[in-house]
Amino acid sequence: MEFKVSKELIHQLEEHIVSKNDKELEVLLNDLHHADIAEILDELDFDEATYIFKVLDSDKTAEILLELEDDLRENILSRLSPKEIAEELDELETNDAADIIGELSQEIKAEVISELNDVEHAKDIVDLLRYDENSAGGLMGKELVKVNENWNVLTCVKEMRIQAENVSRVHSIYVVDDENRLKGRLSLKDLLTTSTKTQISDIYIRKLNFVNVDTEDVEVARIMQKYDLEAIPVVDELGRLVGRITIDDIVDVIKDEADKDYQLAAGITQDVESNDSVLELTKARLPWLLIGMVIEIVASFVLKGNEATFQKYSTLIIFVPLLSATAGNIGVQASAIVVQGLANGTLKEFSRGYFSKEISVSMISGTIISLLLLAYHSVMYQQYLVGIAISISMIVVILFAATLGTLVPLFLHKNKIDPAIATGPFITTTNDVFGIMLYFGVAKLILGF
């Protein structure tokens, strides 16, 4: 059953904090998962959260650090000495420790690294810090199990026992040569059922998926998702095994990317969260609102330029809101499917087949909407020619919106711009201007105005 923070638990904790009853705090929290404790600390104020954090053992608080909200983690770290931070990092795997250190200032970072007890652990962390955080090198951990292709099974088992002491989860056994170049992977079943004198080179599996240290994190996520991998090895430019990426790190990448795309689709230009300040939230939202305002002002000029038309055929102006909403919805739907295809790899570039399919869907949808609109207009206003003009104009605008929604994300993707930006205000506001122009243009052509 999923843990839920209760008011009663929070009240108990606050009472023990006030009375400095550290033993009772430990009793209440020690049996909880570190993610649940992090959730509890997020409900407390900074002073209370910091107090509890210092009461618990480092082997537990180290994992809690990774689960805390950014603001709370930053605040707690600011109240710890470099030595105390180092004690936390000694308990973490290298990639998690590197993530924490990466959030510190340069001055504190150097002090913390110098306080780390395990020299090899410190070297691995420093090595990881040189990689871009959005690359495979920035995601990977150094903890893994590897064996040499020239060993026999007996030697392999002995070495694996030594290496496994520093690895929390053994997903795969990697095989390397004398130069540490990745050669393949070893099946645990083969290892257990083969003679101890058998050479590893005779039984290891040569085909395996791997990524380079410079591979983008979203590409790593796509590969692991495609092949259902729990872990994937990482190699450097010379093909040497330098680390591995596990599924828990990729889940975070997928979540962050989804959050980013969702916000871009809503016209939010920066990565923000609900607990950010009013100023930060305003700065993230305002740019697209201003761009939208400018584009809608252009749309108003288009309407003004057609003032004579809707003075003569007044029902034309009545259906402008319907036109804008329908075209906007069609455009967003088309772009959302394209962005999804680009994200999961089912669509990599412009495809005539897919484009034809999208236009066909829009044509069918537009025809149904237009016929219903024609029937409504005919019953309500008895202006049959105007109704036909509005209906045909609607089909043209819908086809334009579908074309825009399909091609714009592909264009942005080709030019290394996140296509998710095309699923929100960009499509709807652009459709407003060009959609209204097409609407009146086609209507005037049919009405002979």
Q: What is the pLDDT of residues 374-384, one digit of tens each?
A: 998 888 888 88
pLDDT of residue 372: 92
Q: What is the chain's mean pLDDT, rounded?
A: 84
Confidence of residue 174 (pLDDT cuts 50, 70, 90): very high
What is the mean pLDDT of the segment spanning 197-215?
93
> What single string gives the DSSP state of each residue in 4-48?
---HHHHHHHHHHHHTT-HHHHHHHHTTS-HHHHHHHHHHS-HHH
User: Which range among 185-199, 371-385, 416-430 shows the weakest confidence by mean pLDDT?
Assistant: 416-430
**Residue 334 DSSP SS3:** helix
pLDDT at 266: 60
pLDDT bin (cut points 50, 70, 90) of residue 272 is: low
Report the alpha-carbon distance of residue 328 to residue 430 in Å, rounded.
9
Provide φ and ψ at 408, rounded to 5°.
Answer: -60, -50
Give the fold, CATH level 3, of 276-445: Tetracycline Repressor; domain 2 (1.10.357)
With contact defined as beta carbons under 8 Å apart, do 191 and 164 qualify? no
The dihedral through the CA atoms of 53, 56, 60, 62 has a sign that is positive
pLDDT at 131: 93
- What pLDDT score was predicted for residue 138? 93
According to the per-residue pLDDT averaged within each range, which of 137-146, 160-169, 246-255, 257-266 is highest? 137-146
Identify which has the larger pLDDT, 280 or 79: 79
CB-count burial class (<10 Å; 0-12, 13-18, 19+) for 416: exposed
With vertex at residue 340, the alpha carbon angle to CA 334 and CA 344, rounded to the nearest 5 degrees, is 150
Sign of CA dihedral 287, 289, 295, 297: negative
| Side-chain-side CA neighbours of residue 407 (13 Å) | 9
Fold category of 143-261 in CATH: CBS-domain (3.10.580)
129/22: higher pLDDT: 129
Residue 339 Cα distances to 177, 332, 407, 419, angstroms: 42, 10, 11, 6
332: Cα within 13 Å, side-chain hemisphere: 17
pTM: 0.70
Delimit the domains of the chain by residue range: 5-127, 143-261, 276-445
Query: How would you list the strands of the sheet with 182-186, edge to edge?
Result: 145-148, 173-176, 182-186
Q: Average pLDDT, stretch 120-133?
A: 91
pLDDT score of 139: 93
pLDDT in tens, 57-73: 877 888 888 888 888 88
Which pair of tokens denotes residue 233? 């090895």
- 115 Cβ partners below 8 Å, 6+ apart? 82, 83, 85, 86
What is the CATH topology of the domain spanning 5-127? MgtE N-terminal fold (1.25.60)
> Do residues 402 and 335 touch, judged by C-beta distance below 8 A?
no
Closest CA to 267 of 426, 86, 151, 83: 426
The dihedral formed by the CA atoms of 108, 111, 112 and 114, expressed in degrees to the nearest 10: 160
The Cα 296–Cα 431 span in angstroms is 10
Q: Is the pLDDT of residue 226 over 80?
A: yes
